[in-house]
A and B are shown apart, each in its own frame.
Chain A
Amino acid sequence: KQEVTQIPAALSVPEGENLVLNCSFTDSAIYNLQWFRQDPGKGLTSLLLIQSSQREQTSGRLNASLDKSSGRSTLYIAASQPGDSATYLCAVIMNTPLVFGKGTRLSVIA
């Protein structure tokens, strides 16, 4: 059974710092991996989708990497801003339903 773990569970950083969020999964036979952002009480916003054949994807200040063989993905956020404060969820796609981690709650302090 696929298990997705995200470390740390919570993170607080001063504005402007670069930071890395980690995601690990137990079964490397995945199709894709997706990073989401969730604001309190809101639905999910897709940030980056990495296909299993890719090693990384970039969007603006975000960069996500994928190492399928080791079961790891990282989300790198450059020059963090208070508006980046949210919960970041990692999900792996083995078949159409996603398997989610519990998320990392990020607070960026001005």
Chain B
Amino acid sequence: GAVVSQHPSRVICKSGTSVKIECRSLDFQATTMFWYRQFPKQSLMLMATSNEGSKATYEQGVEKDKFLINHASLTLSTLTVTSAHPEDSSFYICSALGGGTDTQYFGPGTRLTVL
């Protein structure tokens, strides 16, 4: 089956630094990838839709200058949290649309902790 990986799985950083999270589709090409965020005991919330070769589409309330998304190839999308603050601490999950279907394949997630 289709596999999506994320790196790193866990990151701890100091307030004010930037953190990059990678999302890769390992055995298929994904023209569209999604980034979600999940706070403790809350549902997953879509942050942005990333299309290969074009600018990401952000959901209302998500700061595009703070959460930089780059989808430079058909197998890689990156999310950079710039000038991270403790309130950005969360679980970030990506998913990818693959194989010409509507099925989304999810990555294992990245736990970000900002001190």
Q: Are A32 and B43 in contact (CB under 8 A)?
A: no
A31-B102, A49-B103, A97-B49 known; A89 vs B43 contact (CB < 8 Å):
yes
Q: Are A43 and B49 in contact (CB under 8 A)?
A: no
Using CB atoms, name the residue of chain A closest to B41.
A102
Q: Are B97 and A46 in contact (CB under 8 A)?
A: no
Interface residues of A in 15-51 (CB under 8 A from B): 31-32, 36, 41-46, 49
A41-B91, A43-B6, A43-B93 known; A103 vs B106 contact (CB < 8 Å):
no
Q: Are A96 and B97 in contact (CB under 8 A)?
A: yes
Q: Are A42 and B103 in contact (CB under 8 A)?
A: no
Does A79 interact with chain B (Cβ within 8 Å)? no
Q: How many residues of B contact A (CB 8 A)?
A: 22
Cβ of B42: which chain A residues have Cβ within 8 Å of it? Answer: 102
Q: Are A100 and B93 in contact (CB under 8 A)?
A: no
Q: How far is the CA of A31 from the CA of B102 in the complex (A)?
A: 9
Q: Chain B: interface secondary structure?
A: strand
Cβ of A4: which chain B residues have Cβ within 8 Å of it? Answer: 43
Q: How far is the CB of B37 from chain A (nearest CB, A)?
A: 11
Q: How far is the CA of A43 from the CA of B104 in the complex (A)?
A: 13
How would residues 52 to 96 of chain A score, 1 for a CB under 8 Å from any chain B CB and 0 otherwise?
Answer: 000000000000000000000000000000000000010101001
The 8 closest A-B pairs by CB, nearest first: A43-B108, A43-B109, A102-B43, A44-B106, A100-B43, A100-B44, A97-B46, A43-B106
Residue pairs across A and B with Cβ atoms less than 8 A apart, 22 shown, are A41-B91, A43-B6, A43-B109, A44-B44, A44-B93, A45-B106, A93-B102, A96-B34, A96-B49, A96-B102, A96-B104, A97-B49, A98-B44, A98-B46, A100-B43, A100-B44, A100-B45, A101-B43, A102-B41, A102-B42, A102-B43, A103-B43
A-to-B contact residues, CB < 8 Å: 4, 31-32, 36, 41-46, 49, 89, 91, 93, 96-98, 100-103
B-to-A contact residues, CB < 8 Å: 6, 32, 34, 41-46, 49, 91, 93, 97, 102-109, 111
